[in-house]
Structure 1
Amino acid sequence: MSTFRPYRFPPLSLPSVAAGCGNDAVQQQAQLAQGFQQGMESGFREGYDTGLEQGQRDGYAAGHSEGWQQGNASVQQQLSSRFDSLAQPLDAMLQALQQLQGDYQQALRREVVELVAKVARQVIRCELALQPVQLLALVDETLAALPPVADEQVSVFLNPEECQRIRELAPERAARWALTPDSRLEPGECRVRAGNHEADAGCRQRLDACIEQVAEQLAEPLPPEAAA
């Protein structure tokens, strides 16, 4: 703490007739100096206390604001870090769920395609068992796609049982071409030879083409309105 040295005014020159009052003047001068000193010290202490209090208030407010900002930033950083740590396993679970859903849909599509193929084969088998002559219609379609030849140059290879039943059920149509039994062919299968050209006129390759189209359609994503 700084101290102040009071300025002492020199005593006034008094006439000799007032020498009796010299002591009173000196005392007054001393009292004035003392009062001035006390006032200085009192004012300094008051100013110091006031400044200290104001400085403490300002410092507290500034420290509180800065501390709140730092604490808030720290909390946000901690929350963000914890959220990221919690989000990582959730993201992995979501990806696994999406993969599982995709695998399930793909397996479901395969099952649908297999079911359609199985049902179609069963229907074809039943139809041919009742009406094997329908194979001759497939022969007509196949010959229409080949270079034209005379009927005598056409040979139709069939399953032995179906070949016999066609001859019994439609002898006039069976006599149009040379029907040849072939034990290597399954029921519903048929091969056509027209001159130098040969083609598959059976049901399997036609069914396989249809099943392939069904699989492609099922593999396409559904439109939004259908998915909803």
Structure 2
Amino acid sequence: MKACRPYRFPPLSQKAGALVRQGDAAQVQASLAEGFQQGMDTGYREGFESGLGNGRAEGFVQGRADGLVQGVTEARQEMQARFDVLTRPLDTALTEVRALQADYQAALRKEVVDLVAKVARQVIRCELALQPVQLLALVDETLASMPPAPNGVEVYLNPEECQRIRELAPERAQQWSLIPDARLEPGECRVKAGGQEADAGCRQRLDAFMEQVTSQLLGVPDTSE
């Protein structure tokens, strides 16, 4: 028979120490896991709260700025609309005043044209009353633009002016055949030469002059006469 050697169990204190060390490691691991999870939860919560706060702050600032811009734009549009409503009667009144002013100036220029025509007629009438022989100068001017007349020249005049020309300038009156015509007004004269007839009176010259004056003052030809 073999001799048996008795087994010696490790001391209880050593066993207990090992158990205690194993228990500490598990507890430490559990504590680390729990701390890690708590850290993650805390970080997530703090990050969420911080992000939410920053987002709210930025959104508030942006929203306030957008609101101010929109408010200013709407207020400006409303004020412009009110201003347009208030100024519309003024614009209408101003347009009417300008139209009245233009009509007044046009009427004033028309009066000036009429006055010039009346004065010119009166001056011509007075000149011819004093010196009717001046009509012969118009006859000379008219004949210069007409072909030669071998058969003579006929000059038709107002009867009174025809008689006075014969009295005041008989030598010149003998150059042509002076014929009185009651249809002609004082200052009017018609010439027949070489089969042609021309107006040598004052009226057509005055009309041409007044047409120029009217065109300059009114901008349109005067066809009233």
Q: State the TM-score, normalizing by the size of structure 1.
A: 0.68
Matches within 5 A, 1:63-212: 63-150=63-150, 153-212=152-211
Q: How many Å apart are 1:52 and its aligned residue?
A: 8.5
Q: Could you say what the CA RMSD is over the residues aligned between the two structures, in angstroms? A: 4.1
Structure 2 unaligned segments of length 5 or more: list them: 1-14, 17-45, 220-225
For the residue of structure 2 that corresponds to 1:123, the secondary structure is: helix
Q: How many Å apart are 1:109 and its aligned residue?
A: 1.9
Q: How many Å apart are 1:166 and its aligned residue?
A: 0.7
Question: 2:156, 2:180 within 8 Å by CA — same for their partners in 1?
Answer: yes
Distance 1:199 1:122 in 2: 24
Distance 1:51 1:207 in 2: 97
Q: Where in structure 1 do 4 or more consecutive aligned residues deviate above 4 Å?
A: 46-60
- After superposition, the Cα gap between the structure-2 partners of 1:47 and 1:179, relative to the gap in structure 1 and judged at 3 Å, is closer
Q: How many Å apart are 1:47 and its aligned residue?
A: 9.9
For the residue of structure 2 that corresponds to 1:157, the secondary structure is: strand
| Correspondence for 1:218 | 217
- After superposition, the Cα gap between the structure-2 partners of 1:49 and 1:146, relative to the gap in structure 1 and judged at 3 Å, is closer
- Structure 1 or 2, whichever has the larger Rg, is 2
Q: State the TM-score, normalizing by the size of structure 2.
A: 0.69
Q: How many Å apart are 1:154 and its aligned residue?
A: 1.1
Distance 2:211 2:177 in 1: 33
Q: How many Å apart are 1:215 and its aligned residue?
A: 1.2
Q: How many Å apart are 1:48 and its aligned residue?
A: 10
For 2:206, the aligned partner's letter is L
Q: How many Å apart are 1:106 and its aligned residue?
A: 2.0
For the residue of structure 1 that corresponds to 2:71, the secondary structure is: helix
Identity %: 64
Larger mean CA deviation between 109-118 and 95-104 belongs to 95-104
Distance 1:174 1:100 in 2: 56
Structure 1 unaligned segments of length 5 or more: list them: 1-14, 17-45, 221-228
Distance 2:212 2:59 in 1: 80
Q: How many Å apart are 1:198 and its aligned residue?
A: 0.8
